[in-house]
Amino acid sequence: METNCRSQWKVAPRWVVVGAALALAGCNSSNKHFVLVHGAWMGAWAWADVAAQLEAKGASVQTVELPAHGADTTPPTQVTLDSYVAAVVAAVDAAPAKPILVGHSMGGVVISQAAEQRASKLAELVYVAGFLPKNGDSLQSLSGADQGSHLGPALVINQSAGTASVPSAQRQDIFCADCSTSELNTLQTNYRDEPLAPFGQPVQLTDANFGSVKKFYVYTSNDHAISYGFQQQMTTGVSLSASKVLATSHSPFLSDSEEVATTLTGW
């Protein structure tokens, strides 16, 4: 009898993770446990195909729904970087063994700050086209430094709603230029405007904690959201355990989920 090893957590101040270790204890896994964190304008839905393929390879998977993303109903004005980190930390604490913590795009900053708090509980960090910050960086400072990104000029800021949006006509170019019609429809259907407040909060990272966790990077060479050149710039001087370049746009979990799953389980 097959056991579904994937759990999806929606964690905000009013949510509690219950029974996670028990739920995963019966999984037949390859001893690899993944916690997958999505990026901006997306949700846990983005990892669905990758999670299914990881499970098929014998791994157990938790996908995190960050507050005000996906199906989470937290108002964007009530979201902070701290609330994102709390959601990830709760998933790490609920994991049955030291997990591989994976972050895409904006999620790279989130998993970095979570690693600062839970370094001893993590097997490794994997950045999939993710922002890889240094101490004192913020999402705003990092994204503003990427001269090759198509995202900045496209953003529409709504201060009263506390959100940033990407016009529908520009989402394919920025997020998934190599997506099929079906994959693009999935992105468009699940798209949500992004809360602004977390972008301005700097991370606080130390060599003793964040610096002690093994790091891996998955580059996306045809990326228009976080340019390949800027991905390389962020990893300059960082001691990576391994890296791989995928010839995809910003959302390889949609356009080439099989290769993402193979990469994650191959390290």
Contacts with 2 (C-beta within 8 Å, 6 or more apart), sequence order:
none
Determine what percent of the chain is predicted with pLDDT higher than 90: 88
When pLDDT is cut at 50, 70 and 90, the band that residue 20 belongs to is: very low
Report the 10 Å Cβ neighbour count for 115.
Answer: 26
d(CA 137, CA 140): 8
Question: Taking the CA atoms of the chain, what radius of gyration do you get in angstroms?
Answer: 17
pLDDT at 184 over 50: yes
| CB contact set of 184 (below 8 Å; sequence gap of 6+) | 171, 172, 176
Please tell me the distance from the alpha carbon of residue 28 to that of residue 169, in angstroms, as a whole number.
43
Does the pLDDT of residue 81 top 60, yes or no?
Answer: yes
pLDDT at 190: 98
User: Which residues, 6 or more positions from 7, have their beta carbon under 8 angstroms from its beta carbon?
Assistant: 20, 23, 24, 61, 62, 63
Task: For each of the domains in the chain, give its residue range(s) and CATH number, in order of start.
Answer: 6-266 (3.40.50.1820)
For the segment 149-173, what is each residue's pLDDT rounded down to a tens digit? 999 999 999 999 999 999 999 999 9
Spatial CB neighbours of 79, under 8 Å, sequence gap ≥ 6: 67, 68, 195, 197, 198
Q: What pLDDT was estimated at residue 30? A: 58
User: What does the pLDDT read at residue 31?
Assistant: 83
Q: Which residues pair with 32 in a beta bridge?
A: none
pLDDT, mean of residues 27-36: 75
Nearby residues of 98 by Cβ (< 8 Å), 6 or more positions away: 33, 121, 122, 123
Cβ 99 vs Cβ 244: under 8 Å: no
> Measured at the alpha carbon of residue 233, what is the angle toward residues 227 and 236, in degrees to the nearest 5?
145
What are the tens digits of pLDDT across the range 223-244? 999 999 999 999 999 999 999 9
User: What local confidence, expressed as pLDDT, does residue 22 receive?
Assistant: 31
Taking residues 112-124, report their average pLDDT: 98
